[in-house]
Amino acid sequence: MNRPKLIIVGGSLATGKSTISKHIADATGYQRIALDEIKEAMFDLGGYRDREWSKEIGRLSFPVFRDLIGMHLDRGESVVADATFLWLDDADWIQELAQTHGAELKQIWLTADPTVLRERFIKRSKTARHPGHNDDLDSVMEEFDERFFNKTFIPLPLDGKTKIVDTTDLSAVDHDAILGWI
């Protein structure tokens, strides 16, 4: 039996994680698990109110996200996991999941010019973003400017290969190169 793969697609807000992870899953047949989609399903079930509610739904969604990844790996299925993965603590549970399930671990780290990310975030929040995220620009821009759009994040220190992909120009991303690397 082949070792399952755990492909981590991470990066800051609006780097194109959903776009890249969907492309990988479609091309490989791997199971795609996206934290935002779990949160959105929970918003649809439990409703949405304000930014604090959105954060709480995020905290409730995380164990489901992590456990779904583990469930698929336990069945020998490869997984594309899509989330920000910005915090050092993420490295611990990801590493543990990969080791526990004998998965080959690879990380695709998306990065882009923070100014471009901020512009994408604003556009997305006005058009396609689920309202449960409460990305109302007037209420979150100060918080997000401070937390996300004034810095560059680095990949997690994982025992596996990492590919850094600049998504400043999403149309220039070489999807075939990413698939070849996987």
DSSP string, 53-109: HHHHHHHHHHHHHHHHHHHHHHTT--EEEES---SHHHHHHHHHHHHHTTPEEEEEE
Identify the burial level of 25 via C-beta atoms within 10 angstroms of its C-beta, where 0-12 means exposed, 13-18 middle and 19 or more buried: buried
Which two structure tokens, joined as six digits, stand for 32?
């795609």
Percent share of the chain, pLDDT over 70: 93
* Of 73, 66, 68, nearest in space to 100 by CA: 73
pLDDT of residue 116: 92
Q: Rounded mean pLDDT of 4-26? A: 96
The per-residue pLDDT for range 76-104, each reduced to its tens digit, is 999 999 999 988 999 999 999 999 999 99
Whole-Å CA distances, 103 to 7, 35, 49, 141, 155:
9, 20, 39, 38, 19
Cβ-contact 16, 84 below 8 angstroms: no
Categorize the per-residue pLDDT at 1 as very low, low, confident or very high, splitting at 50, 70 and 90.
low
Cβ-contact 104, 161 below 8 angstroms: no
**Strand partners of residue 107:** 8, 162
How many structural domains is the chain composed of?
1
The per-residue pLDDT for range 144-169, each reduced to its tens digit, is 777 777 877 899 999 999 999 999 99
**Domain carrying residue 20:** 5-181
Whole-Å CA distances, 141 to 38, 78, 118, 145, 148:
23, 36, 9, 6, 10
Identify the CATH number of the domain in which residue 152 sits: 3.40.50.300
The model scores a pTM over 0.75: yes
**Which of the two residues, 131 and 170, has the higher pLDDT score?**
170
